[in-house]
Amino acid sequence: MTRRGTTRRYPRSARANEVVREVLAEDLERMSDPRLEVVTITGVEVSSDVRYADVYYSTLGTPEQADAAAAALKSVTGRLRSRLGREVQFRYTPELRWIVDPAIAQGARIEAVIKSLHEPKEPT
């Protein structure tokens, strides 16, 4: 019995998510585009009908590098999707939707707050 409002996680969907993540991460490593060197794929969620894959990624570096990485990801989407279609036997090759992983930014914000708590306070 499941609770109302929760989604069930099936082993098949978890395996599909992991396989797609691995294929995309390997192919990104092989690409020679320097804008993609700062990209890490942190997770993938494939829709239940396998038509879409939300690909979560993070970038290291400056905001300009992050913008360049986002543009690079959009430009190589077709190649990555083609490779995914060859490597993984799904009924459909999922459309890739790139999403910046919010957990990375939240973690950085929490770290900044913790550091500020440990800084010595100036006397007033």
Helix (H) or strand (E) holding 59: strand 52-59
What is this structure's pTM? 0.77
- Is the pLDDT confidence value at 5 over 80? no
Cα 64 from Cα 11, distance rounded (Å) = 38
pLDDT of residue 123: 64
Cα 75 from Cα 23, distance rounded (Å) = 17
55 is a domain residue: yes
1 is a domain residue: no
Cα 123 from Cα 24, distance rounded (Å) = 53
43 is a domain residue: yes
76 is a domain residue: yes
86 is a domain residue: yes
- Is the pLDDT confidence value at 62 over 80? yes
15 is a domain residue: yes
Total of domains in the chain: 1
Q: What is the CATH number of the domain that holds 68?
A: 3.30.300.20
Which of 1-5, 22-26, 44-48 is least confident?
A: 1-5
42 is a domain residue: yes
Domain that holds residue 98: 11-118
* C-alpha closest to that of 101 among 33, 39, 15, 24: 39
49 is a domain residue: yes
Cα 80 from Cα 82, distance rounded (Å) = 5
| Upper half-sphere CA count for residue 92 (Cβ side, 13 Å) | 11
